[in-house]
Each structure stands twice: as structure tokens, then as C-alpha cells.
Structure 1
Amino acid sequence: MYQYVLAIHIIFVVCWMAGLFYIVRLFIYHREAQDKPEPARTILSEQFEIIEKKLWWIIATPSMYFVIVAGATMLHLNPALWKMPWLHVKLTFVIGLIAYHFICQKIMKQMAKGVYKWTSIQLRLWNELATIILFAIVFLVVLKSALNWIFGVIGIILFSLIIMSAVKIYKYFREKK
């Protein structure tokens, strides 16, 4: 039974992460649509709102709940996992990812009301945070070490610096055109 629940957990992690990655990409395009002249701005904004809501309520949010239920079920089926320090670190990152999810939901609702507090560059950087959390969780699960995750975090920080540099370089070339 445990292996079936694990498979479901992994499948919905993939779906949830796809939803989180894509929603922020939509936010970037939605935000950039605000710089377009009318009527393009209104047409694009209305379309982005429809796509964002469908992605959020049909894929991302249900997937998050399936991940949580499957994860809790695995802990119920194998309570020995609670004794493993790496799991506690992983769950901390999972809580961070859940917070990230609800912050994205707040951004979506603000944009639907015509409130654009984030720039497209800030949203690009925000999008990378989910990647960093995903890296941390995967390394913890694969290595099953609460100590080695420190090396992983150092790697994640270096990876983050590379991503931020890439975003800055992208912005430079984009504005140069």
C-alpha cells in the first residue's frame, strides 16, 4: 500500500510544481500586458485571468491537497519516518512551499482586481524560489540526510546566485532590443 501512496504523492508533486511554475510565468505575462496600449491590455488581462483561475483551481490547488493527503498517509503507514531528522527538514521546506502557494494565490487575486504590486523582474525572481525549494526537497528525500542538506543549501545558494545573474543578463539583453 505504501508504494501506491508514494506513487500518487510523486505524481501530484509533479502536477503541483508544474502549476506553481506556470502560474508565476502567467503572472509575468499578465504584468507585462499592463504596458500594452488599449484594447490589447484589457483583452490580454481578461484572458490571463481566465487561464490563471483555471490553472489554479483545477490543477495547482487540488494537486497541493493531494500531495498533503498522500504525504500524511505515508507518515501514517510508516510512522518510523517521524524519527528521521531529514524528514523534519523536508517538512519545513514543504511548509515553505505551501506558504509560497498561498502567496501566489494572493498575487492572482490582486491582479484580478487590477492591483500590480510586483514588477516582472520581481516575479521572475519569485518564480525561482519555487525551484530552489524543490531542489532542497528532492536532495533531502534522495540523500535522506539532515546533515548533508547543509551542503545542498550551499549549493542552492550558489544556484540561486546563478539564476539571479541569468535574470539580470536576460533583462539587460531584453531592454537592449
Structure 2
Amino acid sequence: MLYIKALHIIFIVTWFAGLFYMPRLFIYNTEAQEREAPIRDALQEQFGIMMKRLWYGITWPSAILTLIFGPWVMYELGYFESVPSWLWIKLAFVLGLYLYHYSIHRIFLQHTKGLLKYSSQQLRVWNEVATIFLIAIVMLVVVKQNLSVVWGLVGLILFIALLMCAIKIYKALRQKK
């Protein structure tokens, strides 16, 4: 059982690594558009290679293995017979995370076709969504029923507001340069 749980955690970590880094590559690829032709082409070719390797070599396999080991852990812990309320909330966040993964996949496919539909600022905001999911899921798993749903949501909303302020400050600082 502990090996299954350890593997589940390992693949969650590698999945999140991909979800954190992939939007950064989108940002770099988008910002490369502003460069001169030979540099732009070289950068975008390199970012394309990096995105494909990260997405298909790490992120997708990790998402699939997380989906295999997660229910296995639930089965081993007896959660299929009686699902605690905190776990339903966590599973809702996990579903949201898979929807986020799918949205990143769509942006990836657009980038592979040379369609850069989002600004680097929009991608910076989208990059933080994985952080929000990570915090919500980890807090639910660790704190469980001791976590008041109301206070948990208030904390999450405050964290999101703090993230958005940090993004705006970063944008203002970049524009000054």
C-alpha cells in the first residue's frame, strides 16, 4: 500500500512540474515573436522541441499514471465503500485540474501550429491556475475534516487575490524597464 501511495505522490509531483513549466514555455514562445527573424525562428524552434518533450514525455504520462494510482490508493484505503465529504471536494478539484490540463493541451496544439492566440500576460495569469489547484488539493488532503469549508474558501480566494496583485505588480515593473 505505501508503495502505491508513494508512486501516486511521485506522479502527482511530475504532473504538476509539467503543468507549471508548460505555460512558462508558452510565455517564452509568445515573447519570442517580438524578436528579429533569425533569433525568433531559432527560439521558437527550440521552445517547440522543449514543449513536445515536456508534454508528451513527462506531463501526459504523469497525468495518466496519477489517474491510475489515485483510485488504487482510494481502493486500498477503503474509500470506495464510504467516501468522506472532504474527498468529494478534493475529487471536484482534481476534475478541475484535468480540465485545466486539457486547456493546456489545446494551447500546446495551437503553439505547435504557430497560432499564438494569447498574450504573454494572459498566459502568466493562466500559469497560476495550477498553483491554485495545488494549494486547494494539498490543503484538503492534509487538513481533511479539520478544515472548515468556509475558511478554506476564504483563504483560497485571498490567495487568488494575492496572486493577481503580484501579477499586476510584475507587469508594472516589466513595463518600467
TM bucket, shorter chain: over 0.9
1:147 is displaced (CA, Å) by: 5.9
Q: Which residue of 2 aligns with 1:18?
A: 17
Decide whether the 8 Å contact of 1:139 with 1:149 is kept in 2: no
Q: TM-score, normalised on structure 2?
A: 0.95
Q: Which residue of 1 aligns with 2:58?
A: 59
Q: TM-score, normalised on structure 1?
A: 0.95
Determine what percentage of the aligned residue pairs are the same residue.
47
In the alignment, structure 1 segments of 5+ residues that lack a partner are none
- Alignment partners' CA distance in 1, 2:154 and 2:116: 33
Decide whether the 8 Å contact of 1:97 with 1:133 is kept in 2: yes
Q: Deviations over 1:131-150 (max 9, x none)?
A: 00110000000111286243
Over 3 Å counting, the alpha-carbon distance change for 1:69 and 1:146 in structure 2 is: farther
1:66 is displaced (CA, Å) by: 1.0
- Alignment partners' CA distance in 2, 1:76 and 1:125: 36
Aligned length, in residue pairs: 176
Q: Which structure 1 residue ranges, 4+ long, deviate > 6 Å from structure 2?
A: none
Q: Which residue of 1 aligns with 2:169?
A: 169
Decide whether the 8 Å contact of 1:12 with 1:67 is kept in 2: yes
Decide whether the 8 Å contact of 2:18 with 2:54 is kept in 1: yes
Matches within 5 A, 1:122-133: 122-133=122-133
Q: Which residue of 2 aligns with 1:157?
A: 157
Letter in 2 for 1:45: Q
Decide whether the 8 Å contact of 1:140 with 1:149 is kept in 2: no
In the alignment, structure 2 segments of 5+ residues that lack a partner are none
Q: Which residue of 2 aligns with 1:106?
A: 106
